[in-house]
């Protein structure tokens, strides 16, 4: 399969964004137009006058990618050029769950034929690891640091797939860059379904989460195998497929101890109770999704 993201970009070694973009393009194919909000992926792939993109690509601002995607789709329709061309928006968790929320909500409510891929590395990595609405409970970031009276981020992740499904999206799926085939297949399926479809890809960031550059995929898989990041598909609002973990379920501790952002939980007084709270989040996922 031809890679549509050329090498030579400025991504870190072990960069999750590069993997996510590559897998997304493998699923969407050459006949697509990519819209990219501001973020690591945009910065690392398009330092003027260079570009890594082998498909048409447009970046406008941080908070408006879904609206830009709406406009691309409308233009192709108006000009009689839509055909099978797919509109794929790829945005980070900050651009998607926080600042771009309104524009995503609008695009999905209006029913544009586009696929939105949220590449979720659970904080604002491009600006130096600040918390976002996707930052998990107790993760230490530069704006939710662990400290003498804090275990880090005080809130759990916003459930974005549920919000998108509530807009009436025909297809919503979670995936992980740790499972390339899963991601490619889901993107392919999403782009082939008419209407606004959504892929939420979990993407561990070596720099922001604090693990060795060789461990990106391993960390991603561990998030899935603890139940902290369930992989499922929703069609017309109903969960239709789930990746079962069966006997392979790992304790969340195995996932947390791989990462610098959770290391305070293993040294601070009361850390054990906090880890138990995170285990409870995983247990709930295991129950709700029947992992």
Partner 1 sequence: MTPENKLDKSKMVVVEGSYAVAHAVKVCRPNVISAYPITPQTHIVEDLSQFMADGEIPNCEYINVESEFSALSALVGSSAAGARCYSATTSQGLELMHEVLFNVSGMRLPVVMTIANRAVSAPISIWNDHQDAISQRDTGWIQIYAENIQEISDMTAQAYKIAEDKDILMPAMTCMDGFILSHVYEPVVLLEQDLTDEFLPAYEPENILDPKNPLSFGAFADPNYYTEFRYLQEQAMQKALKKIEDVANEFYDVYGRYYGGLIDEYRTDDADIIIMAMGSIVGTIKDVIDKLRDRNVKVGLLKVRSFRPFPVEAITNVLKDAKVVVVLDKNISLGLNEGALFTETKSSLYNTDIRVPVVGYMIGHGGRDIKIDTIEKIIDEATEVMKTGIKIESQFTDVKEELI
Q: Please give the residue ranges that form the binding site for partner 1 (CB under 8 A).
A: 30-33, 35, 42-43, 46-51, 53-61, 63-64, 66-81, 85, 102-103, 105-106, 109-110
Residue with smaller CB distance to partner 1, 31 or 254: 31
Residues 38/94, Cβ–Cβ less than 8 Å:
no
- What distance in Å separates the CA atoms of residue 144 and residue 126, rounded to the nearest whole number? 16
Q: Which two tokens stand for residue 236?
A: 């017309």
| DSSP letter (8 states) at residue 130 | B
Give the CA dihedral 9, 260, 96, 8, nearest 10 degrees: 0
Shortest distance, CB of residue 110 to partner 1, whole angstroms? 7
Q: Min. distance of Cβ 65 from partner 1 in angstroms?
A: 8
Tokens of 256: 């947390």
CB of 72 to partner 1, least distance (A): 4
What is the closest distance, in whole angstroms, from the C-beta atom of residue 11 to partner 1 in the complex?
14
Q: Which is nearer to partner 1, 47 or 147 (CB)?
A: 47
Q: What is the distance between the alpha carbons of residues 144 and 187, in angstroms, rounded to a whole number? A: 32
CA angle (9 as vertex; 5, 12 as ends), nearest 5: 115
In the bound state with partner 1, the residue whose beta carbon lies nearer, of 74 and 286, is 74
Nearer to partner 1, 60 or 150 (CB): 60
| Backbone Cα Rg of the chain | 18
Residue 42 or 233 with smaller CB distance to partner 1 = 42
Residue 105 C-beta: closest distance to partner 1, Å: 7
Sign of the C-alpha dihedral computed for residues 256, 261, 263 and 265 taken in this order:
negative
The least CB distance from residue 87 to partner 1, in Å, is 8
Q: Which is nearer to partner 1, 84 or 267 (CB)?
A: 84
CB neighbour class for 257 (10 Å; exposed up to 12, middle 13-18, buried from 19): middle
């Amino acid at each position: 399969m031809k890679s549509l993201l050329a090498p030579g970009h400025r991504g870190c070694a072990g960069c999750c964004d590069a993997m996510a973009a590559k897998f997304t393009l493998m699923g969407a194919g050459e006949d697509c137009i990519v819209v990219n909000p501001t973020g690591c992926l945009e910065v690392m792939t398009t330092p003027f006058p260079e570009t890594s993109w082998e498909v048409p690509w447009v970046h406008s601002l941080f908070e408006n990618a879904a609206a830009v995607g709406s406009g691309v789709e409308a233009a192709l329709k108006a000009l009689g050029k839509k055909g099978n061309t797919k509109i794929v928006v790829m945005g980070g968790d900050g651009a998607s769950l926080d600042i771009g929320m309104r524009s995503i909500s609008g695009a999905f409510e209006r029913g544009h034929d586009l696929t939105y891929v949220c590449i979720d590395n659970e904080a604002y990595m491009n600006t130096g690891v600040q918390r976002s609405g996707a930052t998990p409970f107790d993760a230490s970031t530069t704006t939710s640091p662990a400290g003498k009276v804090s275990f880090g981020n005080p809130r759990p992740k916003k459930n974005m797939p549920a919000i998108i499904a509530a807009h009436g999206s025909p297809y919503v799926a979670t995936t992980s860059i740790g499972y390339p085939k899963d991601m490619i297949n889901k993107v392919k399926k999403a782009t082939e379904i008419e209407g606004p479809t959504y892929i939420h890809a979990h993407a561990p960031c070596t720099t922001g989460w604090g693990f060795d550059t060789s461990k990106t995929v391993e960390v991603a898989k561990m998030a899935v195998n603890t139940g902290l990041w369930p992989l499922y598909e929703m069609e017309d609002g109903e969960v239709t497929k789930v990746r079962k973990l069966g006997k392979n379920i790992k304790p969340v501790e195995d996932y947390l101890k791989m990462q610098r952002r959770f290391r305070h939980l293993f040294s601070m007084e009361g850390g054990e109770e906090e880890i138990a709270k995170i285990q409870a989040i995983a247990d709930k996922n295991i129950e709700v999704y029947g992992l």
